[in-house]
Amino acid sequence: MGDAARPTTLPCSPPAAHHHGPLHQTHCGTNNNCYDGSTTPYESRDYDSPGAGGQEYRGGNFENANDLSMPSQTAHHHHHHHHHHHHHPHLQTQEQQTTTDHHLHAVPKLEPPPTPPAQSEDVPGVVCAGCGLRISDRFYLQAVDRRWHAACLQCSHCRQGLDGEITCFSRDGNIYCKKDYYRDEYELGAYGYGKNNVKLLYVHRENALHHEIREYEVDTHLRLISQKDYMEGDNHDIIATDSQKNTVYLMAKKHGIRSPEEFALLLCSHFLYTYEQVAEVSINVEEYPWTRHYVYNVPHNHAFVMSPTATRYCQVSQLRNESPQIRGGLKGLRLLKSTQSSFTDFIQDEYRTLPDMNDRIFSTIVIATWDFSTATGVDFDKVWCTVKDCIMENFAGPPDTGIYSPSVQNTLYLTEKCILDKVKQIYSVEMQMPNKHYFALDFSKFSKLVQGPNKEVYLPVDKPSGIIYARLDRKTLCARL
């Protein structure tokens, strides 16, 4: 951890010179007189008789040198080491006092050297830790055990002057303002903000009696280009979460709703186009499973039934100046078949208690997600139905005979392959098929009370349960283009 210190104004009585390392030069500013130890004369002052019209730094301000008096040696803050020097006036020639402006050289700003540069033995003086030049001002600043011209005491990162600050911070030989000291110490990782669980029901009235409905729950998340809302408490770029909520309703009213994916794409486009400070938008949409009511196989015009066979959702994210990433999803699809499933020939060792099962109940709750390579020309409603049909086809099979499953792993793989075969706009699909166990009860102790092998009773067991998952990708890179 670095050090914190309070800049202190001290009289510039020249101590004995220390020789430590190379010279780092910078321009010291118009309020500081510098001497670099060379033969080029620089403007300097006698410590007892400041030059007329000069300015000196004192108490956070530059004042006329003639108005300054020597500060008492008790003015040091307790944060610093105290340095007391004997005063040796440095007598100068008239030629040195009348140098012209062309003798002052502005050079690029470099990092403060860790130690003062070497000085000629016949030119004693206090050396600035910022520019490496001799301080010929009557007063200088002391911070973190080093001496500075007022203009040279700057943050190494942002170059903000620190001569008027109460505290400055040091680490690895560099000085920082408080903001940049902690900015360099830590890095903000994932961040953003938004509005969750924005509920809406959209009704499209094709005529007086025939209606279409969609009920959604929407999450909007934004990441701004700047981090100043976190780092500095500056809220000027923030789009309030309440404003994001209002945007969801207004976009639904203005443009209507056709599918979760299209609505999420619309919201991404709106936030990026409307607010230039937004770097990334992420939208999650979950659809409530309303289905149209049928009366004697005739669809009702405006009556609907909540049919939670499976929940449809999507996740769409988009970076500025990049294409959107679209992920469709399905969850909560609970399936069970009472035969045409087995699990045999797995590892036999001292840890195994489960017997081979040539015929068992296969039950699971499917979670599936799929990533689109493009949004152009995609019927998202049709794709969702196709994915669901692939799941049912590979789990259940034909209605009369069904389809055999040697393991959950094999059924999952065949399902994912089916999805990629049928939907060319999908480049990757991922599924989870956890086991929902049903174990046969042992009635051997009740043989006189119950009979009949075809009447079986099972015990549902939810925990613990196995989990099987996999992702299947297209090998060709062009699938994402």
Active site residues: 195, 241, 437
How far is it, in rounded angstroms, from Cα 335 to Cα 431?
A: 14
Residues 6+ apart with CB under 8 A from 247: 220, 267, 270, 271
> Is 151:141 a contact under the CB 8 Å cutoff?
no
Dihedral sign computed on CA atoms, order 37, 40, 46, 50: negative
Q: Which residue's entry shows tokens 């062009």?
A: 478
How far is it, in rounded angstroms, from Cα 436 to Cα 75?
A: 78
> Is 69:163 a contact under the CB 8 Å cutoff?
no
Which residue, 171, 143, 175, is CA-closest to 157?
Answer: 175
Which residue, 390, 433, 386, is CA-closest to 415?
Answer: 390
How far is it, in rounded angstroms, from Cα 464 to Cα 375?
A: 40
How far is it, in rounded angstroms, from Cα 189 to Cα 465?
A: 35
How far is it, in rounded angstroms, from Cα 414 to Cα 393?
A: 10
> Is 176:155 a contact under the CB 8 Å cutoff?
yes
Count each helix (H run) and each strand (E run) in the chain, helices first: 7, 23
- Rounded to 10 deg, the angle between the 260-274 and 241-255 helix axes is 120
How far is it, in rounded angstroms, from Cα 256 to Cα 214?
A: 10
Which residue, 367, 268, 374, 262, is CA-closest to 312?
Answer: 367
Cis status of the peptide bond prior to 112, with omega within 30 of 0: no
How far is it, in rounded angstroms, from Cα 274 to Cα 127?
A: 54
> Is 231:177 a contact under the CB 8 Å cutoff?
no
